Amino acid sequence: MEDNIIVLQGNKPENQENPEQPKELLFTALRVKMQQTEHAVEKIYSEIVKMVPSLMQIKEATKKGYRLVVDASERLLNDIETGKVKLSVEKDGKIVAQIREANGQYGGKLPIKKEVYAKGLDPVQMANAIQMMAMKEQLDAIEAQIQFIDQSVQDVLQGQQNDRIGLYYSGFALYLESQSVNDKSLKNTLVGQALRSLSESSYQLGLKMQSDIEYLAAGEYKKAKGKSVNLIDSRMDSINQSFGYIHQNFMLRAAIYCNEGELSSMSVVLNEYSRFINQTIKNNADLLSQCDKNDDGTDRGVWHSRKKLQLDTSEIYKKIAEQNKVIYLDFAKEA
Amino acid sequence: MAKKKGCLNPNCPSHEKRKMYDEAYIRCPDCGEILSYVCKGCYMKLPNGAKTLCVRCEEEKKDKRKLFRKNTGKAFAGAAAIAVVAIKKIVSK
């Protein structure tokens, strides 16, 4: 709780691995979802493996030309269940249907195999699992990028207080509070309000950052004779701080959606983040890196690395937005 | 002013010493890395087609120039005022 107070006061948390940092919240939520996905995929796999013998029979049937299937109606199945109709059961317990010859005498026996439809597969769980598996590689890639960007962001999130940042902390506090609320409707309301606060804060900070960039791009700092560098530095401080809070904001919103199981909304937030970077930073990365005293202008530099974040998140969005998702199962040859 | 190139390989001694090369150089003579245009003031990488200084260094240079003019102007004005007073005293004698 002490850590929360530090965060709410707007100071830099002492511990970089603070579990209540937006980045950590997102990564934890993603790891939990990934574990759930792996369990779901294991379940799907085991059910499919159970079905493999019948799939092999289908393969054999294509060689023979046909396969006989007993097509029992719903009523007949009910009668079998209730015991009105009985299938012949051999001494070894196998169910058979007996063939009657043309002369009326009983002939050979056809084995009937009871096949149970796969149980325990939740379609929603399956869809989520497929979605998560499709995103896995991209999520791993952006996790590394977010980690890198987060390091540069943490250094500037100090001592800044204004309405926009206040909204961010309000959203953060509401979300933390919602985690300890037992009443579901109250929890949902708090989460909704947290998301609203975060969204408002994010757009206001975005607009502020945009106006600061326009100021630099228009060269308005030149008007102050002999103080241009001071003006550039103060604007760059403002831009860096806005970006820091915007980054935290998007991470927190993505974490909230991920925790609530809303993966497509999480992808929308990540896509929104990539769109923001595309619109605000991508075209101005050269200018920003030249104005930032901490940037070296290379691809490893602050602004060029931030610019690059866009690519991988948009790739994730494409994966999720795909209409048809397919899992390819590979059968290993027996030794 | 001619543009300058520099080596951006952080492990290269030429990068550590912030050595600058003429535009004709393509690779770093020390490590072989491809050279990039750099700012003459802070050695940051500049995009192709940019000036010799980055935005910040260019403004810093202008600021210094303005400050120098302002200070030298004041110094000249002060010296001129002293000279005028001295001349007046000499003339009055």
Distance from CA of B70 to the nearest CA of A (A): 9
pLDDT digits (tens, 9 = 90+) for A124-146: 666 666 666 666 777 777 777 77
pLDDT of residue B16: 92
- As a whole number of angstroms, the longest Cα–Cα distance in chain B is 76
Cα dihedral sign, A216-A220-A221-A226: positive
Amino acid at A158: Q
* Residue B72 confidence class, pLDDT cut points 50, 70, 90: confident
- Contact flag B55-A298 (C-beta cutoff 8 Å): no
Question: Are the Cβ atoms of A226 and B46 closer than 8 angstroms?
Answer: no
User: What stretch of H or E contains A11?
Assistant: none
Q: What is the pLDDT of residues A236-257, one digit of tens each?
A: 999 998 998 898 899 899 899 9
Quick one: pLDDT at residue B28?
Answer: 93
DSSP output for B2-67: --EEE---TT-HHHHTT--B-TT--B-TTT-PBPEEE-TTT--B--TT--SS-HHHHHHHHHHHHH
Cα A128 to chain centroid distance, Å, stands at 9
CB A298 within 8 A of CB A304: yes
Measured between CB atoms, which of B46, B59, B66 is closest to A221?
B59
pLDDT of amino acid A89: 74
Among the residues of A83-183, which ranges form H helices?
A: 123-154, 163-178
Residue bearing tokens 């770093």: B28
Q: Please give, rounded to a whole number of angstroms, the shortest distance from the CA of B47 to a CA of chain A.
A: 7
Contact state of B45 with A297 under an 8 Å Cβ cutoff: yes
pLDDT of residue A5: 36
**Low-confidence residues of chain A, pLDDT below 70?**
1-20, 48-69, 85-86, 98-101, 110, 113-135, 151-152, 154-161, 310-335
d(CA A201, CA A249): 8
CB B37 within 8 A of CB B4: yes
Would you call B59 and A286 a contact, using CB atoms and an 8 Å cutoff? no
Q: Is the distance from CB of A154 to CB of A16 less than 8 angstroms? A: yes
Q: Is A21 exposed, middle or buried (0-12, 13-18, 19+ CB in 10 A)?
A: buried
CB contact under 8 A, A291 and B56: yes
A224 touching chain B per CB within 8 A: no
Query: Does the beta carbon of A283 lie under 8 angstroms from any beta carbon of chain B?
Result: no
| Contact (CB<8Å) A293/B55 | no
User: Which pLDDT tens digit goes with each residue over A87-129?
Assistant: 777 777 777 776 666 777 777 776 776 665 555 556 666 666 6
B54 and A297 Cβ atoms separated by less than 8 Å: yes
A296·B62 Cβ contact <8 A: no
The verdict on A223 touching B (C-beta cutoff 8 Å) is: no
Question: What per-residue confidence (pLDDT) applies to B67?
Answer: 81
Q: Are A229 and B63 within 8 A, CB to CB?
A: yes
**Pick from A146, A145, A153, A143: which is nearest to A243 by CA?**
A153
Chain B touched by A322 (CB under 8 Å): no
Closest residue in A to B38 (Cα) is A297
A42 touches chain B (CB under 8 A): no
Which chain B residues are within 8 Å of A229, Cβ to Cβ? 56, 59-60, 63
pLDDT at residue B11, rounded to an integer? 92
Q: What is the ipTM of this complex?
A: 0.75
